[in-house]
Amino acid sequence: MAAIERTTRTPQPIGHSRSPWGVVGAVLRWVALIIATLLFLIPFYLVLRNALSTEADITGVDWKFFPTDLQWGNIRELFEDENVPMARALYNSAVIGVLGTGGQLLLASMAGYGLARIPYRHADKVFYAVMATLMIPAAVTFIPSFIVVSSLGWVSTLRGMIIPTLFSGFAAFLFRQYFLGFPKELEEAARVDGAGYFTTFWRIVVPNSLPFFAAIAAITFIGNWNSFIWPLVIGQDEKSWTVQVAMSTFITAQTVNVHQLFMAAAVSILPLILIFAFLQRYLIQGVTQSGIKD
């Protein structure tokens, strides 16, 4: 019987060598990311730098990366200005942001769930009507909305700024698209136990959709906080000014209070930075879970 000769070979480790083009591509990507990051941070640097500077440092010819003597007193000067109630403006913006966001989440989520899950004859027509509102420019409805608010006596009140903005067709659309992809098995299990649509929505759907709710809440709050035109028209009394309206008073036809304007901008964006820092992962999940589908 012929002997069968077997040759054993020790496996050699496979190197993860990269081609020169791959290395160049990775370097270029990192360079592009660094440049994009710097361009993104430049406005924040300018706001912080000018907020802690004097008028001479801001408007002077000689530019310094940071002034030698940081003007921390600009913060006290901002809140002690008798002509601009900045503390009251921050409070008004916070109330409008929180209540407006809560109202939009409540109404838009219920509308989206009804459009996605409750079968009725004219569901598609209602959905198309909601989508049609997104195609109407805001300027078209601005004057009718002001007339309604004025007739109700809500000028210079927080009610006049919050209630007309409680419903968002775009938010309802996003909720509908999300609920279309929500697992029906969870809802069917609740129906077997005798739960109706309302109970199923509050006890099953909402607790399992909190990341998406958080994403919509962050986007809505930022939009309400940055709103300017509607609060400017409705808030005719300085006690009803929002932070954006209060900031605009630092620019007049005669003077521009530059250092206080930048300090007010720094103070106004701080809540938004904190919200974005805590909810950024929910924002990403909200974009991926919205699922644009029928």
**What secondary structure letter does DSSP report for 205?**
I
- CB-based contacts of 190: which residues, under 8 Å, 6+ apart? 199, 200, 203, 204
Distance in angstroms (rounded) separating the CA atoms of residues 51 and 261? 8
Q: What are phi and psi of 251, to 5 degrees?
A: -115, 110
Specify the amino acid at residue 170: F
Q: What is the mean pLDDT of residues 196-203?
A: 90
Domain boundaries of the chain, sorted by first residue: 23-71, 76-289
The superfamily (CATH) of domain 76-289 is MetI-like (1.10.3720.10)
Q: Which pair of structure tokens corresponds to residue 76?
A: 């006290």
Whether the per-residue pLDDT at 294 is higher than 50: the answer is no
Q: Does the global pTM surpass 0.85?
A: no
**Residue 257 DSSP one-character state:** -
Indicate if the pLDDT at residue 87 is higher than 70.
yes
- Report, as an integer, the average pLDDT of 47-56: 89
Average pLDDT over residues 83-89: 91
